[in-house]
Structure 1
Amino acid sequence: MKLFGLFSNGDIVNSYELSNQNGMQLKIVNFGATITALKIPLKNGKVVDVVLGFDNLDAYVKSFYLESAPYFGATVGRFAGRINNGTFCLNEKKFDLNSNNNNHSLHGGNIGFSQKIWKVKKVNREKNPSITLTHLSPNGDENYPGDLSVELTYTLTEENELIIDYKATSTHDTIVNLTHHSYFNLDGHNLDVLEQDLEVNSQKMLETTNENIPTGKYLNLKDHPFNFNTPKKCPAKIDNTFILENEKEHAASLFSTKNNLKMLVYTNQPAVHIYVGGNCFNKIKGKENSDYHPISGICFETQNFPDAPNHDYFPSSILKKGSEYCHKTIYKFQSY
């Protein structure tokens, strides 16, 4: 554990480091339960940091005031993606959330889980090292109902997997949709992703409006330019939700021919939202004095459908009082 930064009110943010026996290394800070670095050993003996991030707390805080906050490596909640007009109904009651994206609520509202200081519950440095963090979101936080207790565990396995386990319970019926927001770049965090091969195991994606709100329709990907069932180069622009129908298969993969490195994404969630970005608008420097731009990284946001509470036939995002939200995602790395 190392000091990562201090807030003016005295709140402390620490950095934690985990390493497996192969030399894979993960760095996390408890501000936003954020991954700041993920270093993967290659067959040629080199090590590559495959996620975008910043070197200091001040940069992470300032990044939320950019014209488009990047959410580098953060845990997103209470609700990943957009909620149309920031409103939903639950148990015949209407809830008006804080809107922070046009008139919509995005990634939890004005101050979501990505900007909270999480508590570190335990750190395991044995085989398959892990760290568990917790956060209590009080009833009325961003106008969501219920005290929501969240527990998040990051695990590094000896098979070079990063496993993310989320669990949550609430004192009232509520909605929840958590995700992880790392921007991956298998060539290295200071390059671009356009030469990497993207594969997505999906036959359908959500149709959206020009403000990225789901219309309720599904788009067949058979002849669509975003059909990635056969790997294709990463697009320069993508911000779309792909529907997943086979939990046993990997949801998506990314491959770097430069580093002969592959990442496979597995999840028990019904969708993966894929987004290419990372732009810091020349206002904040990234790690190692990097200038991050609109094609710096690619996100694989495993989650429920955006705006799910407002579409009856979307998978339910309701967490009942007394029930447990369980979400598991695996990012598995293979070096050739």
Structure 2
Amino acid sequence: MKNENSQLTSHSIARLFGFTQKEKEVYVRTIRNQNGMELTVSDLGATITSLKIPVSDYSNVDVVLGFDNAEDYEASFSLPSPPFLGAAVGLYAGRINKGIVKFNGRVIQLETNLGMHHIHGGNRNLSNQVWRFKSATLDENPSLTYTFTTPENHGNYPGSTTVTVTYQLLENNALKVTFHATATEDTPINLTQHSYFNLNGHDQAVEGMQLKLYADTFLDTDYELIPSGKFIPVKGSIHDYSSIAECPKSIDTTFVLNQPLAATLFSPKNQLRMDVFTNQPAVHIYVGGNCFNQIKGKEQSNYHPLSGICFETQNFPDAPNHKHFPNALLKKGEAYLQETLFQFKKTTAL
């Protein structure tokens, strides 16, 4: 079965990446900036499959985890804990307590796909659907744009929501990610990009990298990582990354931001730094990527619990159920905008 994406365009470099279980063709497209930074994105989940950063005149390093074909991406959603490698995530990234959302005098019961809770948009989410390739630019600051419209009341989200994501490579070696969304009815929304980064190389471990977070507090949660509504000071806590520290081996925590600069990651091995900027109120930090020895990563890599670190720039988890959390309701006729910038640079030390 062919889909709209089988119409190749002269505006991007595209190749067949595989087929979904429903026999839909999946393509990947690659763009490069003038410095040799290279980005590859899949139609399936509007997923970043590769991000190569020049580290010398003769070599580059692929800094995101991924798979070699569409079939493996689709299969990864059946793993004991789906990793969402590189995907666009929504309609609501993160957890919603018991899948219940209350607004406008209504009580909405979303799908519960993490025990009794809702996470990352449910079982049929933005990450495992084939998006429509919309456009590309190949000149200065090249870009790729994808769009997806959810079916009416999909997963019990009210109405239909149209999401567009643009990935742009800036000439100063930054990746800019921009989400736009509109909805036919008032609906909860929280979109994010779920790449697992490893500046040592996608087939390495996070050990040896250094991390700094620009946040004063993080969200208190229960044992199921559902926010209590309280904020915990970073200083002196187990999550104190206010100064450069070793990359954590285990973390699944939402940090509250008060400025556009959210985080800095540094690899002494490759002398490569990444700064994360966003217009979102939080960044959720997660270390993982485990594929449970069931699926090989790209280039036959074995991804494990320490393979990569996510910087999920977003609103707060469970925000619709806490009045003092930032608004997470997209109203009919209004526009949602999420912008995140991943800035890369060579440096010998922080």
TM-score, normalized by the shorter chain, greater than 0.5: yes
Q: CA deviation at 1:8?
A: 4.5
The TM-score, its normalising length taken from structure 1, stands at 0.98
Equivalent residue for 2:315? 304
Distance 1:172 1:152 in 2: 20
What is the correspondence of 1:56-95 to structure 2 with a 5 Å cutoff? 56-95=69-108
Q: 2:305 aligns with which of 294, 313, 316?
A: 294
Per-residue CA deviations over 1:125-154 (Å, capped at 9, x if unaligned) read 111000110000122111100210111100
Q: Does 1:30 align with 2:29?
A: no
Q: How far does residue 9 in structure 1 lie from its aligned partner after superposition?
A: 3.4
In structure 1, what residue type is equivalent to 2:343?
K
3-state SS of 2:108 partner: strand
C-alpha spacing 1:67/1:9, structure 2 compared with 1 (3 Å): closer
State the partner residue of 1:179: 192
Q: Corresponding residue for 2:151?
A: 138
Alignment partner, residue 15 of structure 1: 28
Q: Alpha-carbon deviation of 1:45? A: 3.2
Q: Secondary structure at the match of 2:299?
A: helix
- Measure, in 1, the Cα distance between the counterparts of 2:151 and 2:173: 36
For the residue of structure 1 that corresponds to 2:78, the secondary structure is coil
User: Counterparts of 2:258 and 2:58 in 1: how far apart (Å)?
Assistant: 37
Paired residues, what number?
334
Given the alignment of the two structures, is residue 332 of structure 1 paired with residue 332 of structure 2, yes or no? no
> Would you say the 8 A contact 1:241–1:273 is kept in 2?
yes
The structure 2 residue matched to 1:46, chosen from 59, 64, 67, is 59
Distance 2:321 2:131 in 1: 30
For the residue of structure 1 that corresponds to 2:73, the secondary structure is: helix
2:172 is aligned with 1:191: no
Give the corresponding residue for 1:201: 214
In structure 2, the gaps of 5 or more residues are 1-13
88-97 or 3-12, larger mean C-alpha shift: 3-12
Check conservation: 2:20, 2:74, Cα contact below 8 A.
Answer: no
CA distance in structure 1 between the aligned counterparts of 2:320 and 2:21, rounded to whole angstroms? 37
How far, CA to CA, are the matches of 2:157 and 2:174 in structure 1? 33
Check whether the contact 1:262–1:335 (CA below 8 A) recurs between aligned residues: yes
What do residues 92-128 of structure 1 show as CA deviations (whole Å, max 9, x unaligned)?
1111111110110000011110001100110111110
Equivalent residues of 1:43, 1:335 under 8 A apart: no
Q: What amino acid is aligned across from residue 274 of structure 2 in structure 1?
A: M
CA contact (8 A) 1:39 1:47 kept: yes
Q: Which residue of 2 aligns with 1:321?
A: 332
1:18-69 alpha-carbon deviations (Å, 9 max, x no partner)? 1000000000001000000000001363210000000011110111000000
CA apart distance, 1:194:
1.6
2:133 pairs with 1:126: no
Select which of 112, 120, 138 maps to 1:99. 112
- Deviation sequence 1:168-219 (CA, Å, 0-9, x none): 0111111110000000000000110021000100010000010010010000
The letter for the 1-side match of 2:48 is I
**Is the Cα contact below 8 Å between 2:289 and 2:308 reproduced in 1?**
yes
Q: Secondary structure at the match of 1:251?
A: strand
Aligned-pair Cα RMSD in Å: 0.8
Counterpart for residue 230 of structure 1: 243
Q: Is the 2:234–2:242 contact (alpha carbons within 8 Å) kept by the matching residues of 1?
A: no
- Using the aligned pairs only, state the percent identity: 49
